[in-house]
Amino acid sequence: MVKQFINGEFVDSHATDTIQVLNPATNEVIGEVAEGDEQDLQAAVVGAKEAQKSWAKVNRVKRGEIVLELATLMEQNKEEIAKIYQEEQGKVYADALGEVEGSIGYIKYMTGLAQSAKGEVLQNQVDDELVMIVKKPVGVTAGIIPWNAPIFILMRKMIPALVTGCSIVVKPSEETPFGTFKIAELIQQTDIPNGLVQIVTGTGAGVGSMMSKNEDIDLISLTGSTGAGKAVMSESAANVKKVNLELGGKAPAIITDKADLDKAVKYIVQARIKNSGQVCTCPERLYVQAGVYDAFVEKVTTAMSNLVTGDPTDDKTDFGPIINKKQLESIDEKVQQAVGNGAKVLTGGHIVSDTPGNYYEPTVVVNVNDDSTIMTDEVFGPVLPIAKFETIDEAIDKANNSVYGLSSYAFTEDLKEAMTFSELLNIGEAYINCEAEEATTGYHAGWRQSGLGGADGTHGFEEYLNTTVTYFRYE
């Protein structure tokens, strides 16, 4: 589809260049999109700015009711959306459908917050004067969507923007644009006013950069790499634009001597292979206490070696392909570098070579140095590097020793240890004895170079609101 979605219609792009979209399971071309230009973006921003003026005047509860219509339509079309998503992204069907269903639930939750507008009325120190604090929509927002969860993260940015009274200009990933266009078709069938949702395709260096620099965009929300986040911050600085950034992660998982090892293996493996390991909250580095190290390594190696990677349309497949060849080669490079530095691969450790798709074997690596790239940099693939520790304090120091701070895991049946991890892990999310399942009611936010601001729950909802203070003198 060499179109852009502008003011409620699919229109020809002003750009002449296109981007091919590949199925990562086969590397076959499934379509192409426009490599959008400044004219495309400007048309989208102008339309979004005009539409937002009227939308902000609509009663918030009414806005929620209108946006909720999208959930109904997505429910009716969820199988089709999941199949589009599966083809362009490579998830197994159950995971693709699960993400669509999670997105529908997200819409229902966020539109419900329309009925919980909050403010404050305070007594000033001045006689006969009240202070009223209210929240107002930020204005025109922009959402830069990643390829690893393009439907859910689209909702994570679009729905709170619309319910709070903002408009949004969306740049889907050039790897996974077609599910977003399907959502646009459904938006056309709702009462969401034309212009509130604009979609401009292109690259991060192209359209994404233009968004960051555009003076009429009031907030830009990016989910992507830390490098992309730094670029957005730098380019937004000229207009002192509000930014919301969910960036990279290097989640540690700590397994203590008091852990239920079977539970730890189950949840760590589930999390590590979710979306072929291409999730920013996946466990990326494991620290196992000496007393259970050998037993845990044996159990997790067996579990990983029994997994099946391959065609995501095959019901026997546990996880599918890596998004593209560049990412596939990056994963392998980190594994081979670790081996070259003395690490040992217990299972996997190679690109699957007898297929045209982008597949990597489920991999366990031990004898890994703390300063090895595989322990410091995001791998974003089905690889578990494991290191040993002696004391709980040592494990916490190792876990906190990272430029990232998005998610973490800890497995222990000891309450004191669990509470210690909760208190001392300097990371945005801590999953104790469970897999990462971000609650819609929670708050997904990272520390350090994992981002600024956050998403989900009432805190995420308020990212799309600014504060106004009004002084009422009634003398």
Q: What is the CATH number of the domain that holds 91?
A: 3.40.605.10
Instruction: State whether 202 and 335 are in the same domain.
Output: no
Give φ, ψ of 27 to 5 degrees. 65, 20
Instruction: State whether 183 and 265 are in the same domain.
Output: no
246 labelled catalytic:
yes
Instruction: State whether 219 and 346 are in the same domain.
Output: no
Instruction: State whether 212 and 293 are in the same domain.
Output: no
Hunting for tokens 């999109």 — which residue is that?
33
Are 332 and 350 contacting, i.e. CB atoms less than 8 angstroms apart? yes
270: in domain: yes
Q: Which of 179-193, 334-348, 427-441 has the lowest mean pLDDT?
A: 427-441
pLDDT at residue 283 is higher than 90: yes
CATH no. for residue 325?
3.40.309.10
Buried b (16+ CB within 10 A) or exposed e, 452-467: bbbbbbeebbbbbbee
pLDDT at residue 291 is higher than 90: yes
Q: How high does pLDDT run on average in the chain? A: 95
Instruction: State whether 61 and 150 are in the same domain.
Output: yes
Domain with 263 in it: 252-432
Q: Between residues 135 and 437, which one has the greater pLDDT?
A: 135
Strands (E), 96-210: 120-123, 129-137, 140-144, 167-171, 197-199
327: in domain: yes
Reduced to 3 states, what is the DSSP secondary structure of residue 287? strand
Instruction: State whether 214 and 163 are in the same domain.
Output: yes
Residue range 343-375, pLDDT digits in tens: 999 999 999 998 999 999 999 999 999 989 999
Instruction: State whether 240 and 257 are in the same domain.
Output: no
Residue range 298-321, pLDDT digits in tens: 999 999 999 999 999 999 999 999
Residue range 415-425, pLDDT digits in tens: 999 999 999 99
User: What is the length of the chain?
Assistant: 475
The catalytically annotated residue of 174, 175, 235, 246 is 246
Helical packing angle, 78-89 and 178-188, nearest 10°: 160
Bridge partners, residue 383, by sequence: 363
Sort residue 147 into left (φ over 0), alpha (ψ -120 to 50) or beta. alpha
How many Å apart are CA 417 and CA 433, to the nearest integer? Answer: 12
Segment 110-130 mean pLDDT: 88
Buried b (16+ CB within 10 A) or exposed e, 151-176: bbbbbbbbbbbbbbbbbbbbbbbbbb
The pLDDT value recorded for residue 159 is: 97
pLDDT at residue 117 is higher than 80: no
19: in domain: yes
Instruction: State whether 65 and 32 are in the same domain.
Output: yes
437: in domain: no
Instruction: State whether 266 and 355 are in the same domain.
Output: yes
Instruction: State whether 195 and 65 are in the same domain.
Output: yes
Give 439's pLDDT tier (boundaries 50, 70, 90): confident
340: in domain: yes
The pLDDT value recorded for residue 143 is: 97
Instruction: State whether 466 and 397 are in the same domain.
Output: no
Segment 120-132 mean pLDDT: 88
Do the strands 197-199 and 167-171 form a parallel or antiparallel pair, or are they unpaired? parallel
pLDDT at residue 42 is higher than 90: yes
Q: Is the pTM of this model over 0.75?
A: yes
The pLDDT value recorded for residue 116 is: 83
Give 437's pLDDT tier (boundaries 50, 70, 90): confident
Q: Which of 265-279, 291-305, 398-412, 427-441 has the lowest mean pLDDT?
A: 427-441
442: in domain: no
pLDDT at residue 125 is higher than 90: no
How many Å apart are CA 239 and CA 241, to the nearest integer? Answer: 5
363: in domain: yes
Residue range 167-209, pLDDT digits in tens: 999 999 999 999 999 999 999 999 999 999 999 999 999 999 9
pLDDT at residue 325 is higher than 80: yes
Instruction: State whether 258 and 358 are in the same domain.
Output: yes
The pLDDT value recorded for residue 1 is: 63
How many Å apart are CA 136 and CA 154, to the nearest integer? Answer: 22
The number of domains in the chain is 2
